[in-house]
Structure 1
Amino acid sequence: MNQDNAIHDDYLANPVPQTARSSFLSVVLIRIGMMTAMAQFMLGAMLGNSMTFGQAMLATLLGSLILEFISLGLGFAGAREGLSTSLLARWCGFGRFGSALIGIVIAISLLGWFGVQNSVFAKGLDYAFDGRLGFGLSAAISGVALTALVAFGFRALSWTAKVAVPLFFLVIGWIVLVLLSGYNIIDLATTLPSGTPLALGAAATAVAGGCVAGALTTPDISRYCQNGRHVFWMITISIIVGEFVVNSIAILIAHALKTADVVDIMTQTAGWVGLLSVILAAVKVNDVNLYSSSLAFANVIDSVLGKKSRHTELTIILGTVGTTLSILGILDNFIDFLTLIGVVFPPIAGVMLVDYYILRTSRHLFDAARLQQTLPTSTPRMGWQAVVACVTGTLGGLFIDYGISSLNSIIIASAFYWMTNVVKNKFFTLADN
């Protein structure tokens, strides 16, 4: 694929050259927009309804540390090589066909996220029209609108974030002032939760699960960063805003209103301003979900069929699937969805980080390709050790009750992958001797 086609297809199967990198403001606003969705308010409200303020913020801290570790490790690699997560996976343990499996997992989960966010959008839209549209039609309208926007690629993400992120915080600030007027913040912070208690480990896993898809797909955005310093601050600022600021607000509102249905109340008590907050939230986060889904599926098609894809066509197809998921009611299974991806995604990140930074199995290929601004010339077919390590880590996260499931899963997968490679290398060394 020549450079003009690569630009047109948003570097689906090519490294992003330094000349095409974006400004720090652009990437940080995109990342903040991804981390400050209405679903994040739903998560914070769930914590506030089940935990004290201190417990909920501790769970936020623990989950955020996992997200920071994954995001920084993969984000630096993405910026250095100019590659998306799905492409990096080819040379970070998984191989051509293994990375296709990872691409499918990423794309499906992000389409699930698209469905969740679109459902929140549709509920607000339907409420604004007094139920005359119905949820199904509202979801279809919002899904089509968001899909059309993402079809324009990374540049659309950039200018959308510059408009939507500041407006979103202005609107949310006004709604929060209205809802919390008359309450004492200190009293709310010390109020006992009204809902069913939630264990710290489960809460931290839910926090990590809430943004672990974004953490794993950090290279999709960081490949447009100009340097490692931009990567660090993009990730750190977005986690502070998206996790600590948003969660603390949602926790306080949940304590004040004694309910976890904070998003419905926020959007339905503020009239058209509430609808505007939903629209801005959905636009800025779902464009990233759909964008990363298209990158993941492009790698699947290239790995399995050997064919290049067009960004616009993939976006339309995937947007239709995500819209269908929202119509079918994926929002009703929100917490189960968070818990599942909270133990499925960390092992993938763990394997990639161990391979890229510790084992460095393809570092010579990356170094040579970076000089030529092309993909590495040699691609492993299948990384069975990486796949087995991910399955092992996921099972450990699901069935070990002690500690934080997300942390358990990434530690188990990373250790398994590292040990099996050490044993394999020693075996081949002995065989050669």
Structure 2
Amino acid sequence: MEKKGTSVFSNSLIWFGAGVSIAEILTGTYFAPLGFGKAMAAILLGHLIGGLMMFAAGMIGGREKKSAMETVKMSFGSKGSLLFAALNVLQLVGWTAIMIYDGALAANGILKTGAWVWAVVIGVLIIAWILIGLTNLGKVNTVAMLALFVLTLVLFKVIFFGANGAEALVSGDLSFGAAVELAVAMPLSWLPLISDYTREAEKPFAATLSSVIVYSIVSVFMYMIGMGAAIYTGETDIAQIMVKAGFGIVGLLIIVFSTVTTTFLDAYSAGVSAVSISKKIPEKWAAVVVTIIGTIAAIVYPMDNITDFLYLIGSVFAPMIAVQIADYFILKKADAAKISFQVRNLIVWLIGFILYRALMHVDTPVGNTLPDMVITIIICLIVEKAAQAMEENNSKVNIRKLTVAALFAAVAVVGSLFSFPVFGAKCTPVQHLVNILCAVLVGPWWGLAAAFIASLIRNLLGIGTLLAFPGSMCGALLSGLLYRYLKKLPFAYVGEVFGTGIIGGMLSYPIAALLMNSDTAALFTYVVPFLISTCGGTIIAIIVTLPLKKSGLLDKMKQQLNA
């Protein structure tokens, strides 16, 4: 007997439950410094941007009858998608813990029995929701949603019509662009989940559209309650507003059931994503385990400010869906599910991730997500068209070397955060280790490209200066050239030390004086600190490469990359 799909109404009801959330109300309180008019404009614009992305993600899953993480395989490959599946499980565990924490804290504000008690109660109810099952919720979910809707209307009346109507002075510094991004953040956090529900819909288009519209309306309403509470009552603790309004048990029901119906979606989708990592993992029981872990985390760890968590989600999943949109709707390809890695799309995603983190330092009227997605889509289209042109011209780029160079650039960026003192100077050896590894494995030009990309990313992220360019690129190029033509490891080491320490150190002087307005810079100012860092990295490289050379592994790795 064929399994019956979920109805448009059932999908709408699920996403109504997703929108009724304490976390969304609390996020709404952050908008108060803008005042009611600007805050509402930011909330509406953010939900429009986020809603369009949700619709695109939901339609891919609905059309293909695949879960969110299964659709990711279509653009990133069967193994490439595991990165996003693992990150999605982690963010869902995080969300589960955050939602239980917020719900328990608010419930305890009304009926003081201990926040940990309420965390356990909410966790047990979520597990019950999971065991009932998505298609069997039926009347239970309907009754819960109708009750929550009525109770949130009462809360709305208390906030907007029970106050004196005057705006309270709310301290804080929030730009309009940052507010838009906070409004985008919630629908964006649902991106990796919506296909888990639209895949089972009888009418994918109608179910996706209604899900997004219902969620957006309810989410805007929740944001407005939080924002209104902060502006008109001066109170950001929703539980205290309920106590003052005399809600008592009614307020408690709002908190507990809104937390359960929303967090159920997080835990359920964590189970679905876990299955995409391994078919041996039982979906429902994985969701139960996630709920138990989230409950324990909610009891043990404080989770009062989630803005950094929201931005991290955005930086991972905004470029991911941008690549999927370009791949599925524009290029009409999305045919990578049968290969292990779609390297081009993974590199484009990495660029989009870095761009998002860089845009966090730039205030735009539309936030970070929209410009990041537009640029990522354009890059994806350009890369694909360039790849097609190269194939038509029978040209070949060594994809393996490209991938290794990109990975080394990422290692250099992360490694730039690691340093230790040497003779009063700071030694940051990882970039110089990477330079030598690139020289030996991929050659001077790929090494130069990796050093440039790493320096650019560090500057965009605010963890490096313009001196990163001469401090990495000179050593990478000279090390690679000497190794290419002289074929001996010691020449790679010498090239790195001389290129970075002497040439790079001296070239840093005009950059510091002319572009960084340094009054203290001189020709040899940077030579000593650069030499200390490059010597540290070269010593590590010697320790790594000499055993590989003696064992023959180094030559085998080079053969594989050149194959």
One fold, TM greater than 0.5? yes
CA contact (8 A) 1:50 1:198 kept: yes
Does residue 1:208 correspond to 2:191, yes or no?
no
Q: Using the alignment, how far apart are the partners of 1:86 and 1:263 within structure 2?
A: 36
Deviation at 1:380, TM superposition (A): 1.5
User: Which residue among 46, 56, 61 is the counterpart of 1:63?
Assistant: 46
Does residue 1:100 correspond to 2:58, yes or no?
no
Secondary structure, counterpart of 2:280 in structure 1: coil
* Closer, same or farther: CA 428–280 of 1 in aligned 2, 3 Å: same
User: Which residue among 325, 341, 350 is the counterpart of 1:353?
Assistant: 325
1:34 is aligned with what amino acid?
Answer: A
2:207 corresponding residue in structure 1: 230
Moved more, 55-64 or 319-328: 319-328
* Closer, same or farther: CA 211–268 of 1 in aligned 2, 3 Å: farther
2:58 corresponding residue in structure 1: 75
How many residue pairs align between the two structures?
390
Q: Using the alignment, how far apart are the partners of 1:82 and 1:33 within structure 2?
A: 23
Secondary structure, counterpart of 2:306 in structure 1: helix
Deviation at 1:221, TM superposition (A): 1.5
Does residue 1:339 correspond to 2:311, yes or no?
yes
User: Which residue among 138, 141, 149 is the counterpart of 2:118?
Assistant: 138
CA contact (8 A) 1:157 1:287 kept: no
Q: Using the alignment, how far apart are the partners of 2:122 and 2:50 within structure 1?
A: 29
1:300 corresponding residue in structure 2: 277
Does residue 1:151 correspond to 2:120, yes or no?
no
2:48 is aligned with what amino acid?
Answer: L
Deviation at 1:234, TM superposition (A): 2.4
1:355 is aligned with what amino acid?
Answer: D
Does residue 1:382 correspond to 2:341, yes or no?
yes
2:294 corresponding residue in structure 1: 322
Q: Using the alignment, how far apart are the partners of 1:24 and 1:76 within structure 2?
A: 14
Q: How does 1:29-40 map to 2 (within 5 A)?
A: 29-40=13-24
2:193 corresponding residue in structure 1: 217
Q: Using the alignment, how far apart are the partners of 1:260 and 1:77 within structure 2?
A: 38
Deviation at 1:34, TM superposition (A): 0.6
Deviation by residue 1:153-204 (Cα, 9 ceiling, x = unmatched): 31255544312211111122223334445435xx45xx36512031111111
1:279 corresponding residue in structure 2: 256
Moved more, 338-347 or 321-330: 321-330
Deviation at 1:115, TM superposition (A): 1.1
Moved more, 141-150 or 97-106: 141-150
Q: Using the alignment, how far apart are the partners of 1:399 and 1:160 within structure 2?
A: 45
2:152 corresponding residue in structure 1: 172
Does residue 1:312 correspond to 2:284, yes or no?
yes
Does residue 1:119 correspond to 2:101, yes or no?
yes
* Closer, same or farther: CA 424–157 of 1 in aligned 2, 3 Å: farther
Q: Using the alignment, how far apart are the partners of 2:94 and 2:219 within structure 1?
A: 20
Q: Using the alignment, how far apart are the partners of 2:103 and 2:244 within structure 1?
A: 12
Secondary structure, counterpart of 1:20 in structure 2: coil
Does residue 1:163 correspond to 2:143, yes or no?
yes
Secondary structure, counterpart of 2:182 in structure 1: helix
Q: Using the alignment, how far apart are the partners of 2:214 and 2:84 within structure 1?
A: 28
* Closer, same or farther: CA 381–108 of 1 in aligned 2, 3 Å: same
* Closer, same or farther: CA 314–76 of 1 in aligned 2, 3 Å: same
Deviation at 1:138, TM superposition (A): 3.0
Q: Using the alignment, how far apart are the partners of 1:389 and 1:159 within structure 2?
A: 45
CA contact (8 A) 2:69 2:192 kept: no
* Closer, same or farther: CA 121–248 of 1 in aligned 2, 3 Å: closer
1:25 is aligned with what amino acid?
Answer: F
User: Which residue among 212, 224, 239 is the counterpart of 1:248?
Assistant: 224
Deviation at 1:207, TM superposition (A): 1.1
Q: Using the alignment, how far apart are the partners of 2:72 and 2:50 within structure 1?
A: 18
Q: Using the alignment, how far apart are the partners of 2:41 and 2:156 within structure 1?
A: 22
1:344 is aligned with what amino acid?
Answer: V
CA contact (8 A) 2:271 2:282 kept: no
Secondary structure, counterpart of 2:305 in structure 1: helix
User: Higher relative CO (CA 8 A, sep ≥ 6), structure 1 or 2?
Assistant: 1
Point out the structure with max Rg over C-alpha: 2
User: Which residue among 388, 408, 412 is the counterpart of 2:375?
Assistant: 412
1:279 is aligned with what amino acid?
Answer: V
Deviation at 1:320, TM superposition (A): 1.8
* Closer, same or farther: CA 129–266 of 1 in aligned 2, 3 Å: closer
* Closer, same or farther: CA 393–362 of 1 in aligned 2, 3 Å: closer
User: Which residue among 377, 384, 403 is the counterpart of 1:421?
Assistant: 384
Report percent identity of matched pairs. 23
* Closer, same or farther: CA 40–158 of 1 in aligned 2, 3 Å: farther
* Closer, same or farther: CA 111–313 of 1 in aligned 2, 3 Å: same
CA contact (8 A) 1:392 1:412 kept: no
Q: Structure 1 stretches of 5 or more lacking a match?
A: 5-16, 302-306, 366-377
2:492 corresponding residue in structure 1: none
2:134 is aligned with what amino acid?
Answer: F
* Closer, same or farther: CA 298–32 of 1 in aligned 2, 3 Å: same
Q: Using the alignment, how far apart are the partners of 1:99 and 1:193 within structure 2?
A: 47
* Closer, same or farther: CA 56–383 of 1 in aligned 2, 3 Å: same
CA contact (8 A) 2:78 2:339 kept: yes
* Closer, same or farther: CA 423–59 of 1 in aligned 2, 3 Å: same
Q: Alignment RMSD, CA only?
A: 2.4
Q: Using the alignment, how far apart are the partners of 1:149 and 1:320 within structure 2?
A: 13
Deviation by residue 1:268-308 (Cα, 9 ceiling, x = unmatched): 7522111110111011101111111111111012xxxxx43
2:403 corresponding residue in structure 1: none
Q: Structure 2 stretches of 5 or more lacking a match?
A: 397-563
* Closer, same or farther: CA 268–87 of 1 in aligned 2, 3 Å: farther
Secondary structure, counterpart of 1:215 in structure 2: coil
Q: Which has the higher helix share?
A: 1
Deviation at 1:421, TM superposition (A): 1.6
